[in-house]
């Protein structure tokens, strides 16, 4: 999925899985980011802190050159409230369902999806490319962490309180300009 986002997150968290080693019944993988990785992801994602990042994935074969990764990414995050500027903790849970294909198959599917955009909405995103014979589950977990973050986090109970009486303002924004033009 990172191909659809112009600023893909850096590969701070990496856990490559060789697609040739995925058995017919699939592969279950559980990941947990260590403290330095969590600190680097928190910095990259603009978080005050990332206390935990875990992911459970199932990698399933879908033919010779296609794979599907499903699972759940869970995190304990600390964000800064855009209203109060106070830190607050919350839990993040993101469901993952992403298809992967060999680069040539993925490129063809992406081109077909682009051609159909105006005709009809796609049922699924085109597959992400398999790079160097691997699917990086750590990067996938980091991507879904970033996608799940609220860009304007609000601390529970925090509310925007506009100025109740706009006439109580001692100086309006354009009063300074008016004074300057009156002096000329």
pTM of the model: 0.75
pLDDT digits (tens, 9 = 90+) for 66-96: 999 999 999 999 999 988 899 999 999 999 9
Predicted pLDDT at 111: 60
Query: Looking at residues 40-44, what average pLDDT do you find?
Result: 95
Count of structural domains, the chain: 1
Average pLDDT of the residues of the chain: 84
pLDDT(7) > 50: no
What is d(CA 108, CA 117) in angstroms, rounded to the nearest whole number? Answer: 14
Q: Which is more confidently placed, 150 or 168?
A: 150
Buried b / exposed e along 153-169 (16+ C-beta atoms within 10 A): bebeeeeeeeeeeeeee
- List the structure tokens of 22: 């995925």
Structural domain boundaries, residue 82: 2-183
CA 21 to chain CA mean position, Å: 28
What is d(CA 165, CA 149) in angstroms, rounded to the nearest whole number? Answer: 35
């Amino acid at each position: 999925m990172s191909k659809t986002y112009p600023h893909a997150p850096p590969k701070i968290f990496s856990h490559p899985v060789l697609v040739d080693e995925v058995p017919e019944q699939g592969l279950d993988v559980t990941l947990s980011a260590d403290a330095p990785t969590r600190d680097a992801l928190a910095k990259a994602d603009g978080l005050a802190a990332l206390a935990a990042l875990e992911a459970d994935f199932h990698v399933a074969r879908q033919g010779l050159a296609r794979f599907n990764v499903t699972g759940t990414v869970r995190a304990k995050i600390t964000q800064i409230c855009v209203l109060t500027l106070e830190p607050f903790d919350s839990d993040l849970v993101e469901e993952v369902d992403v298809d992967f294909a060999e680069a040539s198959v993925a490129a063809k599917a992406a081109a077909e999806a682009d051609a159909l955009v105006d005709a009809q909405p796609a049922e699924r995103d085109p597959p992400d490319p398999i790079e160097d014979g691997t699917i990086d589950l750590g990067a996938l977990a980091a991507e879904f962490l970033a996608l799940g973050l609220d860009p304007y986090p609000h601390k529970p109970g925090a509310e925007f309180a506009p100025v109740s009486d706009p006439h109580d303002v001692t100086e309006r924004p354009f009063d300074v300009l008016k004074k300057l033009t009156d002096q000329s």
